[in-house]
């Protein structure tokens, strides 16, 4: 199985070329989508049938009228960048929406922490990130709310 992080337009074209190859799938990484201006949950919804792996990685977009998205010449972690990777829960990724999409489509693959926060001590951040994944990886409901609240007649 091959996985690769990609953006929406490229993904669509790539999957059209490899449509007959089920072993070709995507590594979903919401952090890269977000800084590119792509809604990760919508991307996931569009490509869920080819998502084979999910990176749990956060990013903060900090455009301040001085920085831009293409500041790749500036080191990661530098406050002058327009975006930086953050430990899970410390950035702008809406992980609840991502988990809801995964649950809706019965995703059973891995949720792996890819930790790259230059502003946080690694062992502390790694442990916190693992706890964050356990907390936000909730199971879907097996009953509709209305059905659960309906009174049963004897």
How high is the pLDDT of residue 149? 74
Reported as a single tens digit per residue, the pLDDT across 53-92 is 999 999 999 988 888 888 668 898 888 899 999 999 999 9
Alpha helices in 52-154 (DSSP H): 95-104, 122-136, 145-149
Give the domain 8-149 fold. Answer: TIM Barrel (3.20.20)
Reported as a single tens digit per residue, the pLDDT across 99-149 is 999 999 999 999 999 999 999 999 999 999 999 999 999 988 888 777 777
The SS3 call for residue 114 is: coil
How is the chain split into domains, by residue range?
8-149
User: Which H or E run contains 92?
Assistant: none
């Amino acid at each position: 199985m091959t996985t690769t992080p990609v953006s929406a337009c490229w993904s669509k074209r790539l999957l059209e070329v490899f449509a007959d190859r089920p072993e070709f799938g995507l590594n979903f990484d919401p952090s890269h989508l977000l800084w590119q201006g792509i809604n990760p949950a919508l991307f996931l919804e569009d490509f869920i049938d080819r998502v084979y792996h999910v990176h749990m990685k956060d990013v903060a977009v900090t455009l301040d009228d001085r920085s831009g998205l293409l500041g790749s010449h500036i080191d990661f972690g530098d406050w002058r960048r327009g975006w930086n990777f953050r430990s899970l829960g410390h950035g702008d990724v809406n992980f609840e929406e991502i988990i809801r999409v995964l649950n809706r489509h019965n995703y059973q693959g891995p949720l792996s922490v890819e930790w790259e926060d230059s502003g946080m001590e690694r062992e502390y951040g790694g442990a916190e990130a693992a706890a964050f994944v356990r907390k936000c990886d909730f199971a879907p409901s097996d009953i509709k709310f209305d059905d659960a609240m309906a009174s049963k007649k004897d």
